[in-house]
Amino acid sequence: MTANRKPTVRVEGRCLCGQARYQVDGRLQGLMLHCHCQRCRKHYGSTFASFVGFEDAQFHWLAGQERIQTFTSEELIHARAFCGSCGSTMPGPDTSGPVHGCSAGNILDMPKPATVYHFYLKGKAPWFTAPSDAPHLYQLVHPDYRDPGLQNLNRPCTAGKVCGSCLCGTVSFEAEKAVAMRNCHCSRCRLSRSSAFATNLFVAGDDFHWRSGADSVVNYRLPDAQRFGSAFCRHCGSLVPRLVRADQGRINIPAGCLDCDPGIVPGEHIFVGSAAPWFEIQDSLPQWQARPS
């Protein structure tokens, strides 16, 4: 092996429900891309989507390939794929080629990359502030993903309210005001969002209503979990709001699906004891090893 040749690794990934699992053998590129475009934020339901690439990769499904659904649109360069049972973003139908890209959040033992960079910061979420020294290595992005003229989706919002929608636009909602917002780093949230962490916005149930597509929302509850689950659009796989506390009537909104500035920013990081070893928290928000008491 030459001095500059990267070692071959084997990684496994899975969705939240665990019914879809895959394996990748290849040479880790050593790069991780955090994409901030609105389309990625909507599909992943997160503040940004995190991708890693494997060179000379061999990909195969271990289980559940038949559960993978895809969404295509003229507004997308590539199809978006997701588990039809739990909504986690999964590898797309095209798994060939010299470089295979994966969503980092659903890789179980993800090696730490040498270089991390942020892409398409012009589309970033209003609650996120990029680190001042965050590299934006545009020249490293594959030409198919370069689109400096990419515009955010033009979705209607009611003034003074919290509004959002899925990627395909079938599901939309609005709420009167946000109650709280936090970043969660637990392994369940990472598998659900297929990204570094989940940014969750909470609103009161009485203040929330569906504007369209309520009958297109699939609700998944994780077995043996007290409250954890996901809700997603059956057509495009985007994560959407779900009832998280029936006794309190509280709604959990995956922040990535928002169409407007919620007027609030995350107040803390929770479950950092379970955080992805490849992600470094760089802000000054309070951090809790688990859930604050």
| Better-predicted residue by pLDDT, 72 or 241 | 241
When pLDDT is cut at 50, 70 and 90, the band that residue 7 belongs to is confident
What is the pLDDT confidence band of residue 1, given thresholds at 50, 70 and 90? very low
- Residue 226: CB atoms within 10 A of its CB come to 5
> ∠ at Cα 276 (286, 200), nearest 5°?
55
Which residue(s) pair with 26 in the sheet? 9
What secondary structure letter does DSSP report for 74?
Answer: T
pLDDT score for 112:
82
SS (HEC) of 61-72: EEECHHHEEEEC
User: Please, which contacts does 118-121 make with residues 24 or more away whose CB atoms are closer than 8 Å?
Assistant: 118/33, 118/34, 118/36, 118/48, 119/33, 119/34, 119/35, 119/36, 119/37, 119/145, 120/35, 120/36, 120/37, 120/150, 121/36
Across 1-15, 113-127, 259-273, least confident range: 1-15
64 against 114, higher pLDDT = 64
Give yes or no for residue 64 having a pLDDT over 50.
yes
Contact 37, 123 (CB under 8 A): yes
- Span 24-45, average pLDDT: 87
Give me the count of residues in the chain: 293
pTM of the predicted model, to two decimals? 0.88
Fold of 162-274: 2.170.150
Q: How far apart are CA 143 and CA 268, in angstroms?
A: 36
Residue 274: how many CB atoms within 10 A of its CB? Answer: 16
* Segments in 140-229 forming alpha helices (H): 187-193
- 55 pLDDT more than 90: no
The pLDDT assigned to 118 comes to 83
| Encoded amino acid at 157, one letter | C
Which of 22-36, 63-77, 168-182 holds the top average pLDDT? 168-182
More confident residue, 267 or 223: 267
Residue 16 amino acid letter? L
Q: Domain coordinates of the chain in residue numbers?
A: 8-145, 162-274
pLDDT band at 94 (very low <50, low <70, confident <90, very high): low
- Asked whether the beta carbons of 264 and 182 are under 8 A apart, the reply is no
Instruction: Give the residue from 76, 38, 279 showing the smallest Cα distance to 153.
Output: 38
- CATH superfamily label, 8-145: glutathione-dependent formaldehyde- activating enzyme (gfa) (3.90.1590.10)
pLDDT tens profile 246-267: 556 789 999 999 999 999 999 9
Structure tokens at 2: 């030459």
210 or 227, which is more confident:
210
114 pLDDT more than 80: no
Structure tokens, 116: 């991390």
- Judged by average pLDDT, the poorest of 113-117, 177-181, 192-196, 269-273 is 113-117
- Quote the CA–CA distance of 48 and 130 in Å, as a whole number: 11
Helix/strand number for the chain, H first, E second = 2, 18
Give the Cα separation of 240 and 22 in Å (integer).
25
**Contact criterion met (CB below 8 Å) for 103 and 51:** yes
Mean pLDDT over each residue of the chain, to the nearest integer: 85
Distance from chain centroid for Cα 233:
14
Distance between CA atoms of residues 221 and 242, nearest Å: 10
How high is the pLDDT of residue 3?
45
**Distance between CA 53 and CA 293 in Å, rounded?**
39
Residues 6+ apart with CB under 8 A from 18: none
The model's pLDDT over 158-188, given as tens digits with 9 standing for 90+, comes to: 888 999 999 999 999 999 989 999 999 999 9
What are the Cα distances from residue 152, in Å, to 51, 121, 124, 232, 261?
20, 12, 10, 21, 13
